[in-house]
Amino acid sequence: MQILFKGKPVHTSGNLPTTKAPDFKLVDKDLKDRTLQEFKGKKKILATVPSLDTGVCSTMTKHLNEFAKKHPEIAIIVVSADLPFAVKRFCENEKVGNVHTFSMMRDKEFGKTYGVLIQDGPLAGLLARSLFIIDENDQVIYSELVSELTQEPNYSKAFERIVK
């Protein structure tokens, strides 16, 4: 799919999942492998960002962290290509402790499977900005691939799908 980075076209791999959310194997800030199956039976918000070390990604993650404080029954997962050490430092410095922050450092398959791996341009190999709402049965009920990487997603549209 084509999106923009600072107004210039870049492409992502494949398509966003529209039915069952694919399982994944990602790495948490303590270097442990994590999977979607660990959150079975819970509603989930799955967000992808290029790097927590940028303004928009940081803002997005903090926004999701605030939402998580009000909705502890929802598992919120933020995935980036950042190394777990950087993720841990970000979470400690920014006091982000209500969301699960994972890295795809060991395997880019997650980005390909979810259709969010950037294929070309200066950010090739990173994840595009996206939001997925996944129900208790791991069905994707909402997805947004943000059309311009430097912008945030439509939180209210996504949140209204998960909070009823």
Residue 160: count of CB within 10 angstroms of its CB:
12
Would you call 87 helix, strand, or coil by DSSP? helix
Closest CA to 39 of 24, 51, 18, 27: 24
* Terminal alpha carbon distance of the chain: 31
Region at 72 (left for phi over 0; alpha for psi -120 to 50; beta for the rest): alpha
Please list the active-site residues. 57
In whole angstroms, what is the distance from residue 69 CA to residue 37 CA? Answer: 22
Is there a contact between 64 and 100 (Cβ–Cβ < 8 Å)?
A: no
